[in-house]
């Protein structure tokens, strides 16, 4: 008795579209005392009477779509013996005995930026990920509304500069100059930086008076979480 198995990609079940196919004796055992098959036996009490053979198969290298695939027992072929224990010609055949779905995927993360940017894919092209019915997952979720799925860069919301300008202008009107020598002494170019603070809030504005940069490590004396607005110079994170 010979069993023929095939692998199919999502929504591709037509003969000839198999990703892989192989034939093996139905009562074969390529797993041995494998822990996974032992778990199967202990979980399903009737498995010993139901399962004919034990098989494993390396997934074919030509899988390039992610989603719900199928493994199908395409056919079972067997022969009868006559009264003289000789095989009768022309084996019997039963087609498409059973099939089961299994997932082929890899991890990915999708998130929306909090800075009015539209995040786009970086290292993973999600156009190759499919749902159970064979449709791209991007068409079945809200991914398409928050992501551009065929690019590798971030695009800036055209309103970002205006939003930031309004934000800075609002808090500049509220802020008062800090005359604390300890804070002013934090910077290597302290004489070229004006430090202001919004009263009652941990919001500081660092405004260039000729300085071209400040570094985050110069903020070591700040012991409480704070929001910083840097105006007219670069902020270097070291």
Residues 139 and 191 in one domain: no
Residues 123 and 196 in one domain: no
Are 100 and 68 in contact by the 8 Å Cβ rule? The answer is: no
The answer to whether residue 112 is domain-embedded is no
Handedness of CA 226, 231, 237, 238 (dihedral sign): negative
Handedness of CA 216, 218, 221, 226 (dihedral sign): negative
Residues 90 and 147 in one domain: no
Residues 6 and 84 in one domain: yes
Residues 81 and 38 in one domain: yes
The candidate with the shortest Cα–Cα distance to 65, out of 17, 123, 134, 161, is 134
Residues 8 and 99 in one domain: yes
Q: Which two tokens stand for residue 174?
A: 């509220």
Q: List, for residues 193-203, the tens digit of each pLDDT value.
A: 888 999 988 88
Residues 54 and 82 in one domain: yes
Q: In Å, how far are 40, 129, 178 from 192, measured between CA atoms? A: 72, 53, 14
Number of domains in the chain: 3
Domain boundary residue, one of 63, 78, 104: 104
The answer to whether residue 26 is domain-embedded is yes
Q: Please tell me the pTM assigned to this model.
A: 0.44
Calpha distance 18→5 (Å, rounded): 10
Residues 225 and 146 in one domain: no
The candidate with the shortest Cα–Cα distance to 9, out of 62, 49, 55, is 62
Residues 9 and 32 in one domain: yes
Percent with pLDDT over 70 in the chain? 71
Q: List, for residues 50-88, the tens digit of each pLDDT value.
A: 666 777 777 777 777 788 888 888 888 988 887 777 777
What letters, b where the CB count within 10 A reaches 16 and e where it falls short, cover 180-205?
eeebeebbeebeebbbbbbeeeebbb
Task: Provide the domain limits for residue 171.
Answer: 160-236
């Amino acid at each position: 008795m010979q069993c023929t198995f095939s692998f199919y990609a999502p929504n591709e079940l037509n003969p000839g579209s198999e990703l892989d196919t192989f034939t093996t004796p139905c009562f074969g055992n390529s797993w041995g005392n494998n822990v996974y098959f032992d778990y199967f036996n202990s979980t399903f009490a009737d498995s010993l009477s139901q399962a004919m053979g034990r098989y494993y198969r390396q997934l074919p290298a030509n899988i390039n779509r992610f989603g719900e695939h199928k493994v199908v027992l395409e056919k079972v072929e067997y022969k009868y013996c006559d009264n003289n224990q000789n095989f009768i010609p022309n084996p019997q055949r039963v087609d498409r005995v059973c099939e089961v779905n299994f997932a082929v995927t890899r991890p990915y993360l999708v998130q929306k930026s909090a800075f009015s940017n539209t995040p786009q894919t970086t290292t993973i092209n999600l156009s190759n990920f499919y749902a159970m019915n064979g449709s791209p997952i991007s068409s079945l979720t809200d991914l398409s509304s928050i992501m551009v799925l065929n690019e590798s860069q971030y695009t800036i919301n055209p309103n970002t500069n205006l939003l930031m300008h309004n934000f800075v202008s609002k808090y500049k009107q509220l802020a008062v100059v800090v005359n604390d020598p300890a804070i002013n002494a934090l910077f290597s170019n302290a004489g070229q930086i004006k430090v202001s603070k919004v009263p009652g809030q941990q919001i500081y504005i660092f405004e260039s008076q000729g300085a071209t940069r400040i570094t985050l490590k110069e903020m070591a004396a700040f012991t409480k979480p704070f929001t910083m607005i840097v105006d007219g110079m670069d902020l270097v994170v070291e």
